[in-house]
A and B are shown apart, each in its own frame.
Chain A
């Protein structure tokens, strides 16, 4: 479905991504993990079109999307969420989602969008907050609002950037159930996450980034035992001793 080949991104003299290959199959949940600064968020930004890569090729369902604008990529069916939720501050939750309905893949007319926005709020359990001003939503609800907007775009591939960070254990359970539910609707997911327990349990496959390179890839439980991964996270000495 999504295929990144040899993606390179340089900021000044720093290689944020040094030739990354990554793919997501239809219906798959892929976990993208790695220490801070390993290039996970940069990769999300490159796939969604917010950064142009210095080299490499990204294809989505066979079509090249490397040089596309973010809004064009969204209309093809890729939507993202932000680590720190970025709702439209002067709009209600409902209006936030309506914008996504209007401009996403289905390009709904204004009147239709206003009907369907409520549907997506209900799917994400925010039906009761539809007309709240934004300041009344807590972090957990804002994260779900990000999800609702991404879904309302008509996404077939979701890029989730640390949707669980800062949530309490109950909220994490709820969010994981929500993400599984979304996947069961046929939406593929690329999820960046620091909470290992969650990412291992959610993902069908895990890709580990370190300093802009893929250092391991495979089925969840095995990857986390890979010496290269342990060394990236906990240092070389720890990897040798265990």
Chain B
């Protein structure tokens, strides 16, 4: 890794930091900040899941548990113990990481471990944690935790700007760590574990230590992002926090985007959240489920590497079409909101990327040949 990557992430962070300020000047709706906060939330969650499950191949169904532990750590610290909100965030990450280490210690020490066992155990942990939280009065006890007006430092801006900015920082941090891991010794070791764990161990990869390390890092970011999300939820309740939604969505996003590359879950999170937000805004949630469900089936059967690697190979054609569809809508006055127009353009982009390789070469091969960089 060179110095350019951290600088690029830092520059992106600074630019994004200025957006709420720009919004006040240009007077576009607050809705966009909230929307972007949710994008950042899902990017952080999906990247956190992917650095464990995508890189190492151990499928986790317990993202919801680690996220939920983060939510409740912040809720408990802020509401019951009077800890400041910002200080509670790293604690939320650490508590989630400790839970992850506990799970890992139980399951990774078995010599004959298979992935199914890990998947089942993480699913079970989510159920157990929910039951514990529901029944412990000190945490929730079944009443829910209202967070109401939580004080925060003034430099973060108004409430939605604050959520947006913190969400952006957490997302960028998570993605940067995912990027750094992919290019590090740890990442190469994890990829080897994913392909063949026994061989990896035989070539000198300390498999137990690496699995524990990545589990802790992954859970830390799940908890950190969850802790921040507690403020967005505002009224924290067991049923809304510990449902299967988070665990399923992060898997969906990573499978759609691609699990071999740090950008895969980022891409998946942006696309899936945008689409489901748009569909539910026009009361078409059932259609959303059908589309996302069938997309998942197509991805698993035909595009196992995810759309990111296809996007790399069809970059100019796909981006060109995306821009074209977007511009036609904007200038043609089709659709009410920019986000809806973006969502439609995204569908066009996905359609291009789903075209099988052979057919694509036959139809559009000339694009690649002419626009080769």
Contacts and interface: CB of A to CB of B under 8 A. Distances in A.
A230 to B, nearest CB: 35
Given A90-B191, A110-B184, A100 B198 contact: no
A102 interface: yes
B199 A88 contact: yes
A7 interface: no
B198 A50 contact: yes
Q: How large is the interface on B (under 10, 10 to 19, 20 to 34, 35 or more residues)?
A: 20 to 34
Contacts of A107: 204
Contact of B205 (A71, A86, A90): A71
A74 B202 contact: yes
A69 B109 CA distance: 12
Interface in A125-173: 149, 153
Q: How large is the interface on A (under 10, 10 to 19, 20 to 34, 35 or more residues)?
A: 20 to 34
Interface string B253-276: 000000010000000000000000
Contact of A102 (B188, B194, B198, B207): B188
Contact of B202 (A50, A89, A102): A50
A74 B199 contact: no
B201 interface: yes
Nearest to B208: A69
Contacts of A100: 203-204
B137 interface: no
Contacts of A80: 202
Interface string B180-205: 00011100110110111011111111
B206 interface: yes
Contacts of B206: 69, 71
B198 A104 contact: no
15 contacts: A69-B201, A71-B205, A74-B203, A74-B204, A80-B202, A82-B199, A88-B192, A90-B191, A99-B188, A99-B192, A103-B203, A104-B204, A149-B203, A153-B203, A153-B204
Interface of B: 183-185, 188-189, 191-192, 194-196, 198-208, 260
